[in-house]
Structure 1
């Protein structure tokens, strides 16, 4: 257990850790917070940025800034790479959390295959584990699943009484095509949605710091049926925003990208919202009892899914309570610590080396012909 003295989550080299922009960020920071609550030292490690690495957004999280990726090899304790595999000789066997999908472009395939060869792999859903197992040609049982979670503040957030007489609908994903924002824009023009004055729509500015996000933000600002609200950069802020809404929509794209899990879905249900989500990727694994699943990339299906959620009424208090007992950060960290403690599975690289050594070994027949002196 010596290597558990410090758990270092290594963020993608050259990238600061942003606040309030996505599931991998929330997962990483939430894991560190829960470990610290348990008095287990943990930190976020950034590469090549110095103190301009995002730490200003996370006053309660320890950061360590390293100059180069090779410096990771000098870390004591447990090393957990986040998002990307990297070939670095670490003091103890390292781990990789596979937040991303396997690459679809050939030029990135070699990097992903080579980088994962000697790492213990962790996926964020059964769906993602299956994808990576197929991609790497390994047994899916060798890929651990440690689910994301909703921070405790979501289940504990008081709901805001709805005195508007409308159903308040929120798009809380990043302003990027893969999150299905264009499908939502199409849905806003379908008659069963457009002609219902009892529906209000809001979207956050999450992702508007990126070029494509800036364009989408301008489109939303021009749309008379959508209110654009500032992104929330803390779990408490997002929980408060969700508590002001009745339905959260997740019309994620499935044409070239799939949600590996969908942390917004469980955050919304813990907050007492119903969710309308694409029936794709890891999203079906997020059902805490308050999700309507619809055909992805289909604005008509999304419209009817919203109507179903509206007709179902507010999420009952007991359903919210039950939802809040699933996908908790405590359950997630328990699973993570079990992965650290269990015997390490034989990596594909080790199997290949053993096979190569076996092939290269002299055969029994050759050994028998060697004269005995």
Structure 2
């Protein structure tokens, strides 16, 4: 049994981010292959989000301490307190290390005794620097787009219209304020072809509620409800031509950017910040722009428009990259092969090396 452990005290939300899609997609694919896998939640009973995920096995625990009794392989997919496990555990590094020093000790403690899996080469480098461990000790298992994104039929396009979608959460780190500033660029205001849609994903958080009010008040943005399933998100993307991903790089680095590959599988062009793991998401239809720069985002959008709509051939090629089958196979490879050293084991070995007695005899040069 592979248990994917979600953050204690929080339900698994549908349609809010890459961590959720990554977890649910792996559980579905592994069970399809006959590999037992499930989502484990803590302290919520059956009110843990399972109603949003038909056919996905959930297992509810009452407390963090009960994780120690789980049989099989334990994979922590969000931040989770340091807790003993029967078998060596793994940690998925979905987010960057904490920015503020006050949380550094906590992050190191939570990852020190776990084998680490990053979602991009960028994230692996970021965490190896933060934890001061060899980059080779952190495996990379890329996220994926569900098959429905490549299969969804696109809606007919009006040659005189460019349908643009912002599908990220309504939170500052996702670059929403850069997008709002872009709306005042002359490159956008003077182009009557452009229509911009945003979803309400993240409006349940305090910051998201404020941003939702700003979007509602802007005449240049059409707000639609967030999509809760991959099929629904695929349909929304297939009704648009370009997806914007203006990630904020000032205090957040997108470790991968699952929205980018979903959009490309759905036949959209993507305009994304040249930051974090986003450059690794290119399936052939990504335009990278300077992050945190509204005018650069506007220029990138115009470049994407000038490239024309994605052809059927380009879409088919894009859909062969970052598949759930590839990702699940990569994950199983990591879980089945001999486990690499954890950060704590590396530190222990280094400390033991430092404690070795020094030689009392001078070195003799070889002749």
User: TM-score, length-normalised on structure 2?
Assistant: 0.95
1:303 aligns with 2:266: no
Match of 1:185 in 2: 180
What does residue 158 of structure 1 align with?
153
Instruction: Give SS of 1:302's match.
Output: helix
Match of 1:346 among 341, 344, 355: 341
1:14 to 1:195, Cα distance in 2 relative to 1, 3 A = same
Partner of 2:365: none
Q: 1:55 aligns with which of 44, 50, 53?
A: 50
Task: Give the gaps of 5 or more residues in structure 2.
Answer: 361-367
Do 2:144 and 2:258's aligned partners in 1 also have CA atoms closer than 8 Å?
Answer: yes
* Match 2:79 to one of 84, 99, 107: 84
Q: Any conservation in 1 of the 2:50–2:58 contact (CA below 8 Å)?
A: yes
Q: CA deviation at 1:359?
A: 6.2
Rounded to whole Å, the distance in 1 between the matches of 2:79 and 2:252 is 17
What is the distance in 2 between the residues matched to 1:86 and 1:185? 37
Is 1:45 the counterpart of 2:40? The answer is: yes
CA distance in 1, matches of 2:54, 2:259: 23
Tell me which residue corresponds to 1:250: 245
Q: 2:278: which partner in 1?
A: 283
Q: Is the 8 A contact 1:85 1:112 kept in 2?
A: no
**1:293 maps to 2:300:** no
Count of residue pairs brought into register by the alignment: 360
CA contact (8 A) 1:177 1:253 kept: yes
CA RMSD of aligned residues (A): 1.5
Q: 1:142-184 deviations in whole A, cap 9, x for unaligned?
A: 0000000000000011111014731000000000111111111
Equivalent residues in 2 for 1:68-217, closer than 5 Å: 68-163=63-158, 165-217=160-212
Given that 2:5 and 2:77 are in contact with CA atoms closer than 8 Å, whether structure 1 keeps it comes out as: yes
Whole-angstrom distance in 1 between the partners of 2:317 and 2:351: 52
Structure 1 residue 195: Cα displacement: 1.4
Residue 363 of structure 2 corresponds to which residue in structure 1? none
Q: Secondary structure of 2:260's match? A: helix
> 1:86·1:116 contact (CA, 8 Å) conserved in 2?
no
CA distance in 2, matches of 1:358, 1:290: 50
Deviation at 1:352, TM superposition (A): 3.2
Which TM-score applies when normalising by structure 1? Answer: 0.94
State the match for 1:221 in structure 2: 216
Aligned residue in 1 for 2:23: 28
Q: Deviations over 1:230-257 (max 9, x none)?
A: 1100000000000000000001111111
Q: Shift in Å at residue 355 of structure 1?
A: 4.7
Q: Which residue of 2 aligns with 1:368?
A: none
31-40 vs 262-271, which moves further: 31-40
**Structure 2 contact 257–281 (Cα < 8 Å) conserved:** yes
SS at match of 1:90: coil
When structure 1 is superposed on structure 2, of 64-73 and 356-365 the one drifting more is 356-365
On the 8 A contact 2:7/2:80 being kept in 1, the answer is: no
Residue 364 of structure 2 corresponds to: none
CA shift digits 1:258-316 (9 cap, x unpaired):
10000000000000000000000000000000010000011111111010111111101
How far the C-alpha of 1:30 sits from its partner, in A, is: 0.6
Taking the aligned partners of 2:359 and 2:295, their CA distance within structure 1 comes to 68
* Residues 359 and 310 (structure 1), Cα distance of their counterparts in 2 relative to 1, 3 Å cut: closer
SS of equivalent to 1:169: strand
- 2:247, 2:291 within 8 Å by CA — same for their partners in 1? yes
The CA distance in 2 between the partners of 1:283 and 1:190, in whole Å, is 24
CA distance in 2, matches of 1:275, 1:98: 24
Instruction: Tell me how far 1:364 sits from its aligned partner.
Output: 9.9
Larger displacement relative to structure 2 (13-22 or 56-65) = 56-65
Conservation of the 8 A alpha-carbon contact between 1:8 and 1:43: yes
